[in-house]
Structure 1
């Protein structure tokens, strides 16, 4: 993919409902160029534009990252992990470990059961456990929503369900599908977006061959709280970091880098290593992403709302 495609996808990751004219102005090209390329990216499934509902909004505040080693064939292990309903990200990686899985849960007890079930899968060996203490950046999910905004009704749930399938549905189409007015749909969607409960953006196909590199970084820190704050600020200045979190476990910080090339990735890691509070950096490349989940069933949302 060329630089234009990377810039366009990045813009759509941040705002999947952006108007073609706004994207054209941002990228310095004609509107028809943007419209044509977006339609091509969607038709070839290079990207999907979907609504993502924040984990706190679906009652899953406990989130962990697990790295694990595999003895023997890898595919049976990943195929088994695909059956876990609370696995939201699953990747085969390079390096000493063979896999990374991100799991969301309603409680520490539930998380414990999930981790033990993963450890029991035949072929899974050493597992390194890292819990997210505070998420610094989530490209697809944004900031944590205000707790007062976590209440929503059946109309909200219906809209979220439709937008999880196609995030660029017009307000007119949403009105037709929900039996409400277009203005009511518009007001509710904007409220959900502004509250942080939901975000709409592009999800790219990680399996298609591109020049981009998706990599993980585990950062071990030395020093005091000021050093930790400074290292966090450094991560937030790097625009190609899709995810960053303060963590408990093996690492003090963990991040996901969507670099445009190996050279770009290498330069970013060098910058992180040079920070005075960073004592060690471990890296891995996501060689094959098996799952990147943002959709949640309406049944789960409805049960949560009833509870």
Structure 2
């Protein structure tokens, strides 16, 4: 399927879902002067191409700490280790990079004991793991709503995408209905109120109140997963930056406005800012580094690592 077959209505639908994964089709239909049935058909067609709308808990609002793990493995073992990590319920994405010897993994840890069990016990004892570095995500500037973008799409609101590990708000307490809703929305973020009500054994009005509370409290994000290659982007790249402390926030917030960047976070470690960019080809990546990153203040060093394979992506944090 070539991205050129995605017409203006398809791309408007994708963009609108990126801004609000549960937006009514009737609103999109009014915006584009088409029938609601036409929008529903286009949505189902995009689903056959891999589109997913997923309800995801916001880690920091549930008392979870997010970590980025960077593993170096022998070439014959990286794929198998990535598959094992992908099966863990506390990982949200796993990717292979750098010739198949480097592996990145996002980990959601509720306690120090959960974190240490993996970092200090299991991984160090895993054969063919050559090194492990763990980076705590201090603040996520962008990355909670989508794995794709297109440069002609309007920038999203940064406030809607931030999952800040530094939030001062107390973790939100979840009841049984909340947990059922998270489970159902992880399967389909656009599940209807009657479907959610049946799963939770509650009335639709009660479910709507729960959804309003979870979204209003910043505990639920609706994420959009769509293959960037269908939009003409064939080069996903991890970008590690070392930024002077005085410029860290402004650089992170600036990256969040760049349509090339799907994820950016301030982290602990030698590189204090990490980003994931989606580019059309190597020339597009070069131009981005030269014309966008190169002009930002406080950049001391940059390291890039093209993604070879995404083993797991957009899995929900534990609720």
Q: Which SS does the other structure have where 1:16 is aligned?
A: coil
> 2:102: which partner in 1?
98
Q: Count residues in correspondence.
A: 292
Provide the secondary structure at the position in 2 that maps to 1:56: helix
Aligned-residue Cα RMSD (Å) equals 2.9
1:81–1:113 CA distance, 2 compared to 1 (3 A): same
**What runs of 5+ residues in structure 1 fail to find an aligned partner?**
302-307
- Distance in 1 of aligned mates of 2:279 and 2:63: 32
Q: Does 2:15 correspond to 1:15? A: no
Confirm or deny: 8 A CA contact 2:265 2:273 kept in the other structure: yes
Matched, 1:196 2:218: yes
Give me the whole-angstrom Cα distance separating, in 2, the residues matched to 1:120 and 1:252.
27
Distance in 2 separating the partners of 1:291 and 1:102: 10
TM-score (norm 2): 0.79
After TM superposition, give the deviation of residue 218 of structure 1 in Å.
0.7
User: CA separation of 1:29/1:100 partners in 2, compared to 1, >3 Å: closer, same or farther?
Assistant: farther
Q: Residue 150 of structure 1: CA displacement?
A: 0.5
Deviation at 1:290, TM superposition (A): 0.5
**Contact map agreement 1:71 1:124 (CA 8 A) in 2:** yes
Does residue 154 of structure 1 match 2:179? no
Cα deviations by residue, 1:238-270 (Å, 9 ceiling, x for unpaired): 134222111110212111223355444433333
Helix, strand or coil: the match of 1:129? Answer: strand
Post-superposition Cα deviations, 1:143-170, rounded to whole Å, max 9, x if no partner, equal: 3477357023222222222222221111
Q: Residue 157 of structure 2 corresponds to which residue in structure 1?
A: none
1:288 is displaced (CA, Å) by: 0.9
User: Quick one: distance in 2 between partners of 1:98 and 1:258?
Assistant: 19
Q: Which residue of 1 aligns with 2:305?
A: 284
Contact kept? 2:100, 2:308, Cα under 8 Å: no
Per-residue CA deviations over 1:174-195 (Å, capped at 9, x if unaligned) read 2233332222222221221121
Q: Determine the C-alpha separation between the residues in 2 that align with 1:120 and 1:6.
A: 47
Cα distance in 1 for residues equivalent to 2:64 and 2:171 = 16
The secondary structure found in structure 1 opposite 2:202 is: coil
CA deviation map 1:202-244 (0-9, x unaligned): 22357x776323221111123x52x223312321221342221
Q: SS where residue 230 of structure 1 aligns? A: helix
Task: With the length of structure 1 as denominator, give the TM-score of the two structures.
Answer: 0.82
Q: Does 1:71 align with 2:74?
A: yes
Partner-residue secondary structure (3-state), 1:125: strand
Asked if the contact 1:55–1:104 (Cα under 8 Å) also holds between the matched residues in 2, the reply is yes
CA distance in 2 between partners of 1:79 and 1:148 (Å): 34
Deviations 1:103-148 (A, max 9, x none): 1212344323312322332222133332212222233383347735
C-alpha distance in structure 1 between counterparts of 2:56 and 2:252, whole Å? 24
